[in-house]
Amino acid sequence: MFKKLASVVLLATCALSVPVSTGSSAAFDIKSTASTYVAKQWGVSAYDNVQFDSSFTGPQGSFAFLRQSWNGVPIVNSPASVVFDTTNTVVGYTGRYRSFTFVENNTPSLPLETAVASAEAAVTGTWDGAEPDYAYVAKDNGRLAFSYVLRVVNSASGIPYAVYINGLTGEIDEVANLETRAAAMSQ
């Protein structure tokens, strides 16, 4: 759940209309079509390196939200989106592919209680108690940091945050305002 709610910073890569051969509208598979399209843009395998997050369809077309992944674990700061018109033609694409040279162990050594304390301190709030998710956060130094993803609600404002706590070091890898993200996604 929290994997989908990460902060999205999209760096635009413009894609002109690209026909997608899907047959009828009823047979259109947005998940596989968008995953294949993003994989081609990034030059990676759709199965191994692209994770489909969500999609929605409106009167003007369909929108798919995806992200880069490594061994089935999402990389939260490597998002992509694909826009299809009503004929299932790609009319827009944004994405950010992250290259990396080192991947942290995907088994956290930091106790959950320590991660929770760090997350609560980061946003002056209380952890909601839900089972944590896990994700990678791509660092500028080429490292993929393996992180706990904890939902913490700010005590004063009631705003929920996804706090990414490094599962090995306890450092804060990223903080995402889930209220702002939800508002942006609904528009």
In this prediction, residue 27 carries a pLDDT of: 82
Q: How far apart are CA 104 and CA 143, in angstroms?
A: 7
If pLDDT is split at 50, 70 and 90, which confidence band does 183 have?
very low
Closest by CA to 174, choosing from 129, 137, 140, 132, is: 137
Query: How many Cα atoms within 13 Å fall on the side-chain side of residue 76?
Result: 27
Q: How far apart are CA 156 and CA 78, in angstroms?
A: 31
If pLDDT is split at 50, 70 and 90, which confidence band does 179 have?
confident
- How many of the other CB atoms lie within 10 Å of CB of 52? 18
Give 113-128 pLDDT, tens digit per residue. 999 999 999 999 999 9
**Rg from Cα positions in the chain:** 17
- How many of the other CB atoms lie within 10 Å of CB of 64? 24
Least confident of 40-49, 124-133, 160-169: 40-49
Q: How far apart are CA 168 and CA 49, in angstroms?
A: 23
- Domains within the chain, CATH numbers bracketed: 2-95 (3.10.450), 102-186 (3.10.450.40)
In this prediction, residue 19 carries a pLDDT of: 43
pLDDT at 162 over 80: yes
Closest by CA to 67, choosing from 59, 75, 58, is: 75
If pLDDT is split at 50, 70 and 90, which confidence band does 46 have?
confident
pLDDT at 14 over 60: no
If pLDDT is split at 50, 70 and 90, which confidence band does 47 have?
confident
Determine what percent of the chain is predicted with pLDDT higher than 90.
Answer: 75
